[in-house]
Structure 1
Amino acid sequence: MFEFDYTDTNYEQLVHAMAFSLQVPVHNEQLLIPEAIGTGSFRHIHAPNGLHAYLIDCTLRKDWHIHINQSSEEYYMLRFDELAIPQSLTITVADEKIREKNTNKALAYLTSSLYNWSYEGTAGCSYKGVHIAFSKQWLGRYFEIERVEDVLSSYISLKAESINIIPLDARYRRWMKTISHVEEDNPMRTTILQNRMMLLVERFFTSLFEKMSNPAYRLPLSHEDIARVMHIERLLTRNVLQTPPSIQQLARIAAISESKLKKDFKTMYNFPIYEYFQKARMHAAQDKLLTGKYSVKEVAMELGYSNLSNFTIAFKKEFGILPSQLLSQKKLSH
């Protein structure tokens, strides 16, 4: 078994401690996992505005246990994780545990350095994650949030119970992918990293504050319902360039009625299935345009629009501006 036990809130030091444990070097704040343990890497990134992130992208060949001990220094860790679990995984926050078997998990949740936290999994588990560390003072300063301490303490007191509250959707995963794959030689790399990290933090807390304002809030779905709907969301957004499956096909995959699927999906993601899919397509189009590598026509054609005006209408409906205006704004910003 690969075991890593650590006590600190500094992600840069964490990467170096992990490298020491694995007996591998650190290059550009990244370590590569030795073949005997698995494949992939761990990495630290630092944004100019004070955010630190810890990136994980690996598949473990051994059983593994990563344990971060509680610290006297109070910090918060916002975790965005995608896990493929072929056998079993135990998530522990303080003294509460959630056990998963033969499934995929895609979740965003918040932990505090004042609590122990750990993942314990079996061989074959794939793990992609973006973990962002900050203090409550940083959060209050950047988001001008009143009563930050009250909201954070209320959320943290839920511990493991809250893990399923915010599932990762297509937008979260897209930002995570950008953070993990932005090119080293990209002159905008630092700006892109900081921007996507801020988007992750802002969206998480916007959703959190809306829910925490209602003390009686609980997602009115069972654990099994949540897992089913998250699976359908992943299938739906796996390739937004393709025609999506029908509701009938999705319901058959989920092994529930069409009416229940539509109701549960809207409960989880706030939009009907195909409206959600259309939003995911438009955000994918926006990302492509923002790279500066594609014309409006090329993006429209890739998304399957034979009529360019239909694409521009759909884009403006989602973002309030035409795709050509987005390109013009990007050029002006440079």
Structure 2
Amino acid sequence: MRNIYYQLSDPKEWYELLAQKLPSVIQENQITLDPKMGDGQSTYLKVQEGLWAQQMDFKLNEDLELHRIPHQKNELFLVDFYLSNSQIQHKSKEHNFTLGFDNMNVLLTSATTKSQTIVKAHESVRIFNLLFTHTWLDENVLVDESGMCNFFECNSPIYISENLDYRFSDLIKSIDLRHSDRLTSISVILQILDYLFVKLKRRRLNTPPKANIHHKDLEQLMKVRESIDANPITEVSLERLSEQAGMSLTKFKRLFKEVFGTSPYQYHLQNKMAKAMEILTKGTYTVSETGFILGYANLSQFSKAFKNHFGILPSQVEP
């Protein structure tokens, strides 16, 4: 296993470090693995001063262990979107997660976070991430969001997990830093950030942090989430889900929202709306038929729920 020790830095510095530690070649804003080390490359785009986007697609010939050394201050923040089914082990003092498309797959961490990430050999890995400075955050986000200021102004390690829902997935699918034109890429990146901070704002980050979740409770919540994901059309019963998790109803609702950033009902509704969008874009069923499939008694209820979620009416979706 190969080990790399590093601190969170901008992509240019990160590529220079990688080139020293791994057989690879840097060409402007791209680094390509030497065939001896594996196959793949990483590309970054400087969007604005203090804001970068990066896209990584690779398969290694040997295991790689990344050890992040914490900064003293939260000068940088990183948002990772794990897009492949390959599993990546991510460990920190506060959290141990298996990352990948079927697990936790969106992580926001800060420069003071210490972590260990294990990437297995011979696994195809795809990661899209966004990196921004504290200055960029102040000038572009916190200036209008005083409720989140206290949370991001601290120098304690920040570690927030999210799920790759339909909106995130749809936006990221529409961007390829190697082939998309710059204007299109920047537009999509800003939409991703806007959606991310809308979701974070809903979490009320200025409230005191809760106690760490026991790993067995987390495993049960993951199983419940898989059950909800597998049945996006079936109505959810909170009592049944809490029994499946082996928790009281109160504990289940509290931990579910803490882990996934939303209530079980809202999570199920997001899945239902994603399924609605999937059906409508295929063009097989009419709007009325789609609403009926999803269990809505009338068209107006379905149209209202759809517009609240996507900002457009279902009739405006083009196959």
TM-score (normalised: structure 1): 0.66
Does the C-alpha gap of structure 1 residues 222 and 178 become closer, same or farther in structure 2, counting only changes over 3 Å? Answer: farther
- Whole-angstrom distance in 1 between the partners of 2:105 and 2:128: 11
- Whole-angstrom distance in 1 between the partners of 2:266 and 2:278: 18
Matched-pair contact (CA < 8 Å) for 2:70–2:113? yes
Unaligned runs of at least 5 residues, structure 1: 237-243, 286-299, 328-334
- Whole-angstrom distance in 1 between the partners of 2:121 and 2:29: 26
Pair 1:7-2:2 in alignment: no
Give the structure 2 partner of residue 215 of structure 1: 208
- Which amino acid letter does the alignment assign opposite residue 131 of structure 1? N
Give the structure 2 partner of residue 31 of structure 1: 31
Give the structure 2 partner of residue 174 of structure 1: 170
What percentage of residue pairs aligned between the two structures are identical? 17
Pair 1:60-2:37 in alignment: no
- Which amino acid letter does the alignment assign opposite residue 170 of structure 2? R
Deviation (angstroms), 1:24:
2.3
Matched-pair contact (CA < 8 Å) for 2:69–2:115? yes
Pair 1:46-2:41 in alignment: no
- Whole-angstrom distance in 1 between the partners of 2:71 and 2:166: 33
Matched-pair contact (CA < 8 Å) for 2:90–2:99? no
- Whole-angstrom distance in 2 between the partners of 1:31 and 1:228: 38
- Which amino acid letter does the alignment assign opposite residue 80 of structure 1? F
Residue 205 of structure 1: which of 172, 197, 202 is its match? 197
Q: How many residues are treated as equivalent by the alignment?
A: 288
Matched-pair contact (CA < 8 Å) for 1:68–1:116? yes
- Whole-angstrom distance in 2 between the partners of 1:146 and 1:38: 45
Residue 132 of structure 1: which of 113, 117, 130 is its match? 130
Pair 1:280-2:274 in alignment: yes
Does the C-alpha gap of structure 1 residues 272 and 4 become closer, same or farther in structure 2, counting only changes over 3 Å? Answer: same
Deviation (angstroms), 1:65:
0.9
- Whole-angstrom distance in 1 between the partners of 2:278 and 2:112: 38
Give the secondary-structure state (helix, strand or coil) at the position aligned to 2:140.
helix
- Whole-angstrom distance in 2 between the partners of 1:101 and 1:325: 35
Deviation (angstroms), 1:140:
2.4
Unaligned runs of at least 5 residues, structure 2: 292-298
Give the secondary-structure state (helix, strand or coil) at the position aligned to 2:25.
coil
Matched-pair contact (CA < 8 Å) for 2:44–2:54? yes
- Whole-angstrom distance in 2 between the partners of 1:233 and 1:195: 32
Q: For 1:97-116, what aligned pairs fall within 5 Å after superposition? A: 97-98=95-96, 100=98, 104-116=102-114
Pair 1:151-2:132 in alignment: no
Pair 1:304-2:287 in alignment: no
Does the C-alpha gap of structure 1 residues 99 and 282 become closer, same or farther in structure 2, counting only changes over 3 Å? Answer: closer
Q: Cα deviation per residue 1:55-93 (whole Å; 9 max; x = unaligned)?
A: 22233342111233334572222222346456xx54234
Give the structure 1 partner of residue 294 of structure 2: none
- Which amino acid letter does the alignment assign opposite residue 91 of structure 1? H
- Whole-angstrom distance in 2 between the partners of 1:283 and 1:303: 10
Q: For 1:323-334, what aligned pairs fall within 5 Å after superposition? A: none
Does the C-alpha gap of structure 1 residues 260 and 97 become closer, same or farther in structure 2, counting only changes over 3 Å? Answer: closer
- Whole-angstrom distance in 1 between the partners of 2:55 and 2:71: 21
Give the secondary-structure state (helix, strand or coil) at the position aligned to 2:53.
strand
- Whole-angstrom distance in 1 between the partners of 2:211 and 2:163: 14
Does the C-alpha gap of structure 1 residues 234 and 197 become closer, same or farther in structure 2, counting only changes over 3 Å? Answer: farther
Matched-pair contact (CA < 8 Å) for 1:315–1:323? yes
Instruction: Give the CA RMSD over aligned residues.
Output: 4.3
Pair 1:228-2:227 in alignment: no
